Amino acid sequence: MDALEIYIDGNWVKPDGAREMAIINPADERQIGRVALGSAADVDRAVAAARRAFDAWSTTTRAERLEALRRIVDGFRARLPELARLMTMEMGVPITFSTERQATVALFHFEEAIRVLETYEFERAEPTGIIRREPIGVCGMITPWNWPLNQMASKIAPALATGCTMVLKPSEIAPLSARALAEIIDAAGVPPGVFNLVQGDGPTVGEAIASHPEVDMVSITGSAGAGIRVAKLAADTIKRVAQELGGKSANILLPDADMAKAVAAGVHACNTNAGQNCQSPTRMLVPRANRDEAIAAARGAIDTIVLGDPMDPKTTMGPLVSQSQFDKVQALIASGIDEGATLVAGGPGRPAAANAGYFVRPTVFADVTPDMRIAREEIFGPVLSMMFYDSEGEAVAIANDTPFGLAGFVQSPDPERARKIANRIRAGRVYYNGAPFDRSLPFGGYKQSGNGREFGLAGFEEYLETKALVGFTA
Ligand SMILES: NC(=O)c1ccc[n+]([C@@H]2O[C@H](COP(=O)([O-])OP(=O)(O)OC[C@H]3O[C@@H](n4cnc5c(N)ncnc54)[C@H](O)[C@@H]3O)[C@@H](O)[C@H]2O)c1
């Protein structure tokens, strides 16, 4: 289970002077393999290959790129159960969720890129000329571990479809799914140099990509700190920068919502993937009059969570990804108690049944106030903050009282009432009444949640430049 080679110019090669890092299964803390961390010299080689490949790939026909994407889809489908298992082993997501959600959502990005590419008009005639959309060039892609294949696919698929070439640096914590995806792209016959994979850490490989003068665009999904660092490094060569960063999403339960149902759904939404989701509804805003009913419903929902071995199909919550994530979540749970929030369920320490693995107890706090750390900071663990409001105006104010703006959620049987609230939430996505995660509509953040949009048509256009052909006619 090693990832000791990187993929450059169509070949699997050893990284230059590589350091090795253990790949740890977070469910039992045992080493399952090794990843070789690349260097700036590897990034140079990968970027040079991508640059050489750009002329030919950017001038392929739509049909050629569609064919390549369809072969990737076939290869991905054939290996989907294996891809799901790899993600479960490297980052602890329960196998059922990994198969039905994480892997299938990743596959969908390739299918979606095909759908958009089939009819996309790269040129549009205007009275005084033509507007032409062209591939941006060489793209650097830096991705996290929490939805590893989804985040890689949401960048790679539109970049391939538009005619860009690329260098991917996946999370060093989740290198196995990245290696498998590179094998699928290789087997699909994508020409050498179009797609390159350099495994490695952020400060070395990530920063080399972000600052490389031959990279035209860099797209990062990760924490705000990494996003800021990448943008600063990219500024020296005026790169296009796309950032998909953190969140602290509010879930507003309006007074006419079915409280028991909405609270239970909100608790589960906050806990999928052990709470390691950027758009998790981690702040539940409940009318103060419904406080006790909501607390009881939250307790009931927590009791239905099945914690355990993520390889067991019945498990609904696995461990967190790493010791450092475990420590961070523990510290934030402690801060909630110290700052006077009411502990409704869960709390500090490991669940009783777990004697190894980075398992935490799914935790709910009530009476959380906007100044508390658990109301302000992205926890990235199964910790829900219930906050109580007296008026809809106050609910909106609390929802927007955050530096983040990735998502929001509104629950009410009255679509007009909910829409008024949704329009006032300063976030890139607002979900109504448990609408399922959507993979075609734009995804991205307001404020410090990022710049740019992924998924579907919006994600496709992120990889295009705009050229005005003045005086030309169609
Ligand atoms: N908005 C979104 O779409 C979205 C989706 C998923 C995760 N996230 C965010 O990602 C974070 C969790 O992921 P993580 O812990 O892997 O984040 P992270 O910031 O630690 O790492 C993300 C990626 O950036 C790289 N990186 C780290 N430091 C870097 C640097 N100085 N220069 C260049 N690259 C660097 C890492 O190696 C990794 O590949 C959370 O904050 C979460 O909200 C956002």
Asked whether residue 1 is domain-assigned, the answer is no
Confidence (pLDDT) at 352? 85
For ligand 1, atom 30, name the residue with the nearest CA.
202
Best mutation site among 143, 171, 218 for ligand 1, i.e. most ligand atoms within 8 A of its Cβ?
171
Q: How far apart are CA 436 and CA 257, in angstroms?
A: 18
Averaged pLDDT in 10-residue chunks for the chain of 474 residues: 97 92 98 98 98 98 98 98 98 98 98 98 97 98 98 98 99 98 98 98 98 98 98 98 98 98 98 98 98 98 97 98 98 98 98 90 98 98 98 98 98 98 98 94 98 98 98 92
CA gyration radius, the chain = 23
Does residue 268 share a domain with residue 186?
no
CA of 227, closest atom in ligand 1: 19
270 burial via Cβ count (<10 Å: 0-12, 13-18, 19+): buried
Closest ligand 1 atom, residue 443 Cα:
3
The H or E element spanning position 126 is: strand 123-126
Element (H, E) at 383: strand 383-389
CB 258 within 8 A of CB 407: no
Same domain for 377 and 347?
yes
Please name the residues in contact with 105: beta carbons below 8 A apart, sequence gap of 6 or more: 147, 150, 437, 439
Among the listed residues 244, 377, 378, 454, the single catalytic one is 244
H helix or E strand, kind and range, residue 36: strand 30-37
Q: Which atom of ligand 1 is nearest to the CA of 454?
A: 3
| Residue 270 sits in the same domain as residue 298 | yes
164 and 280 both lie in a single domain: no
Say what the pLDDT of residue 9 is.
98
Whether residues 226 and 261 fall in one domain: no
Overall size of the chain counted in residues: 474
Phi-psi region of 471 (alpha: psi -120 to 50; beta: other; left: phi over 0): left
Instruction: Please give the number of the atom of ligand 1 that sits closest to the Cα of 145.
Output: 16
Do 429 and 458 lie in a common domain?
A: no
For residue 172, give the 3-state DSSP assignment.
Answer: coil
User: Do 177 and 82 have their domain in common?
Assistant: yes
Is 278 known to be catalytic? yes
User: Are residues 196 and 301 both part of a single domain?
Assistant: no
Structure tokens at 460: 């496709």
Position 321: which residue type?
Answer: V
Q: At what angle do helices 148-162 and 62-78 cross, to 10 degrees?
A: 160
Q: Is residue 412 part of a domain?
A: yes
Q: Return the CATH number at 313.
A: 3.40.309.10
For residue 41, tell me if it sits in a domain: yes
How large is the angle between the packed helices 62-78 and 104-119, nearest 10 degrees? 160
- Residue 181 and residue 281 in one domain: no
Tell me which residues have their CB closer than 6 angstroms to ligand 1.
142-147, 151, 169, 171-172, 201-203, 206-207, 210, 220-223, 226, 229-230, 244-247, 278, 378, 380, 406, 445, 449-450
How distant is the alpha carbon of residue 225 from its chain centre? Answer: 15
Residue 355: partners with Cβ closer than 8 Å, 6 or more residues away: none
Residue 18 corresponds to which tokens in the numbers above?
A: 């590589």
Pairing of strands 19-25, 30-37: antiparallel
Q: Exactly one of 139, 164, 270, 278 is catalytic; name it.
A: 278
Count up the domains in the chain and report the number: 2
Which residue puts its alpha carbon closest to atom 6 of ligand 1?
Answer: 278
Cβ atoms 339, 381 nearer than 8 A? no
Instruction: Using CB atoms within 10 Å of the CB of residue 135, give its burial: 0 to 12 exposed, 13 to 18 middle, 19+ buried.
Output: buried
Beta-carbon contacts of residue 275 (< 8 Å; ≥ 6 apart):
282, 362, 379, 380, 381, 382, 383
pLDDT of residue 305: 97
Tell me: do 314 and 216 sit in the same domain.
Answer: no
Nearest residue to 177 via CA among 152, 141, 206, 205? 152
pLDDT the model gives residue 17: 76
Q: How far is the CA of 226 from the centre of ligand 1 (A)?
A: 6
Q: Minimal CA–CA distance to 9: which of 164, 202, 166? A: 166
80: in domain: yes
Q: What is the ipTM of this complex?
A: 0.96
| One domain, residues 400 and 310 | yes
**Active-site residue 139, yes or no?**
no
Ligand 1 atom showing the smallest separation from residue 449 Cα: 1
Same domain membership, residue 190 and residue 291: no
Give a yes or no: residue 443 inside a domain. Answer: no
- CA-nearest residue, atom 37 of ligand 1: 202
Enclosing domain of residue 452: 6-245+448-470
Residue nearest to atom 3 of ligand 1 (CA): 244
Q: Is residue 75 part of a domain?
A: yes
Q: Which of 143, 205, 211, 278 to mutate to test the pocket of ligand 1 (most atoms within 8 A of CB)?
A: 278
- Collapse the DSSP code of 127 into the 3-class scheme (helix H, G, I; strand E, B; otherwise coil) and give the result: coil
Whether 85 contacts 95, CB under 8 Å: yes
363 within a domain of the structure (yes/no): yes
Spacing, Cα 462 to ligand 1 middle (Å): 19
